[in-house]
Chains A and B, each alone.
Chain A
């Protein structure tokens, strides 16, 4: 039961974007298209799960004075793996995501989980925690990028969704659209949290 708890909390109660407000840079930067949002989410899930698991395995061997540089090197290694993998197998996608794949290294969710969870708990729990957090992050990106792609381009995953009558809201495709959409989604999340009660509702 403990494992299920650690997995589920990332989806809503401690959702990294909606509740912890971490990982804002990729959340705002790559959510213009749904395909980009999904790709970024999957890349983060991979890096997060791998680095949390590795950190947890070696947690007793890493001296606490050098834990942060050690975590960063571990995270950076997995990020470069993802970057090369995308460049070799999905060149078009890799070009679209541009510098935001290498920037996963500084994504606070990943270092945050390594520091707050994986360096203190067992391998299995750390794995579930990372997976839950990663999926929670991805789901939020999917919602955000769907809204932005439909309103900003009138398409979803590149397929035209609206008729010719629809004039795309250019602002939604631009950075301000990311802030506006994220703001609306965050306030909705707060309203829902208040309705269902529980901790951290304010």
Chain B
């Protein structure tokens, strides 16, 4: 056997074995990985919007969830969107009531913000500020002091950019839901 042929043969065999075993591992874990992703979204959804069933629709590339109770009455809507954070993308879920009048809450699904600073956008103290806010004509804005009105969200100390990114994204998602409701009601 010539050395060149042996080299090719070795790499071929190693490649076939590697590919074969990986396709097996992929098949074995695929369903569970999919299920985990779904579970993760559902756990956020049900925490923000307690409901019995939901329908998922895609609207302009963003998943929108229509939550209903047992009688089929709509309880609220949720939407997932992503925006630029301080370092990388922030993926956010926003839930609102059925008339788009109050925010039911937000949840951070994915972020790469600075640990100890920007990562606090995923902590209760920051997220709970959004719960129960009235959705009015004016957009939400970030302030670096105590919040005094319905539109003001207090920034996390040392992470104004991350806080602002979340608030901007929430404003954007509210706008998206408005359009969605206008077209689908």
A residues near B (Cβ < 8 Å) are: 32, 61-63, 65-66, 69-70, 73-74, 76-77, 80-81, 84-85, 87-89, 91, 95, 98, 152-153, 168, 170, 173-174
- Is B137 an interface residue when CB atoms closer than 8 A count as contact? no
Contacts of B15 in A (CB 8 A): 73
* B6-14, B53-61, B63-71, B128-136 - the one binding chain A: B6-14
Pair A32/B115 contact, Cβ less than 8 Å: yes
Size class of the contact patch on chain B = 20 to 34
| Cα of A95 to Cα of B17 in the assembled complex, Å | 28
Once A153-B116, A174-B116 are accepted as A-B contacts, the answer to whether A66 and B7 lie under 8 Å apart by CB is yes
Once A74-B14, A85-B29 are accepted as A-B contacts, the answer to whether A65 and B22 lie under 8 Å apart by CB is no
The 4 closest A-B CB pairs, nearest first, are A173-B116, A88-B29, A88-B32, A77-B18
- Is B36 an interface residue when CB atoms closer than 8 A count as contact? yes
| Cα of A16 to Cα of B110 in the assembled complex, Å | 33
Pair B10/A170 contact, Cβ less than 8 Å: no
| Cα of A118 to Cα of B158 in the assembled complex, Å | 49
Contacts of B11 in A (CB 8 A): 66, 69-70, 73
Contacts of A168 in B (CB 8 A): 116
B residues near A (Cβ < 8 Å) are: 3, 6-7, 10-11, 14-15, 17-18, 21-22, 25-26, 28-29, 32-33, 36-37, 40, 110, 112, 114-117, 158
| Cα of A169 to Cα of B18 in the assembled complex, Å | 45
**B16 CB to nearest chain A CB (Å):** 10
| Cα of A69 to Cα of B115 in the assembled complex, Å | 37
Contacts of B32 in A (CB 8 A): 88-89
| Cα of A173 to Cα of B6 in the assembled complex, Å | 50
Pair B14/A80 contact, Cβ less than 8 Å: no
Pair A91/B40 contact, Cβ less than 8 Å: yes
Contacts of A170 in B (CB 8 A): 116-117, 158
Contacts of A81 in B (CB 8 A): 21-22, 25
Contacts of A73 in B (CB 8 A): 11, 14-15, 18
Pair B115/A173 contact, Cβ less than 8 Å: yes
**A79 CB to nearest chain B CB (Å):** 10
Q: List 12 A-B contacts (CB under 8 A).
A: A73-B11, A77-B17, A81-B22, A84-B28, A88-B29, A88-B32, A89-B32, A91-B37, A152-B115, A152-B116, A173-B116, A174-B114
Pair B10/A84 contact, Cβ less than 8 Å: no
| Cα of A80 to Cα of B112 in the assembled complex, Å | 22
Pair A61/B10 contact, Cβ less than 8 Å: yes
| Cα of A32 to Cα of B119 in the assembled complex, Å | 13
Pair B36/A91 contact, Cβ less than 8 Å: yes
Pair B18/A76 contact, Cβ less than 8 Å: yes
Among B17, B18, B40, the most chain A Cβ lie within 10 Å of the Cβ of B18
Pair A70/B10 contact, Cβ less than 8 Å: yes
